[in-house]
Amino acid sequence: MSSDSSSSKEDLDYAVIDEDRIDRTGDGSDRTRRVTADTKMSTLVSRNVTVGGHRTSCRLEPYMWEALYDVCSRERITIHALCTMIDERKDPNTSLTAAIRVFALAYFRAAATEDGHSRVQHGLGQPFTNTPFPERAESENDAAVPPDRKRRSRD
């Protein structure tokens, strides 16, 4: 991404604020506060889900929501059914949000294959390839990988 002030579509998925937007304080009063571009917005997205017949909200990153909807599509179930199943299986001392994150990681990790990792060029000392994290200069990547951990070519 360039260093200019232009935004990508991904940036817009998190929050769009303009200087004239008014937001409630959230303290139950009728007071309002002005939201400016300098206001720090969370990258988490809050959504309502019904878990065991009870409505609750979960705050997750947009990529995590996308992953959950991918699971739902693949398994042909609703987000509510998936969250209910996760809630029924999680440790009682673990929050639903944490359990959802662990589930999503475990689900896709179980589906990962060596062939899949090779196709997206994993295993070359550059773990951020094909992830939502920006690429860095080659010299920075090399510095992060100890020489004894760099992969040698297989002739």
Q: What is the pLDDT along the chain (155 residues), one digit of tens a residue?
A: 444 444 433 333 333 333 333 344 444 444 444 444 444 556 899 999 999 999 999 999 999 999 999 999 999 999 999 999 999 999 999 999 999 999 999 999 999 998 888 888 888 888 887 777 877 666 555 555 555 555 554 54
pLDDT at residue 132 in the model: 78
Show the domains of the chain with their CATH numbers: 43-112 (1.10.3990.20)
Long-range CB pairs of 76-79 (<8 Å, 24+ gap) are: 79/49
Q: At residue 90, what is the residue type? A: K
pLDDT at residue 70 in the model: 95
pLDDT at residue 118 in the model: 85
Torsion angle, CA of 136/139/144/149, rounded to 10 degrees?
120
Structure tokens at 80: 């509510």
Sequence-distant (6+) residues with CB within 8 A of 28 are: none
pTM for the model stands at: 0.59
Backbone angles phi, psi at 48, to 5 degrees: -85, 135
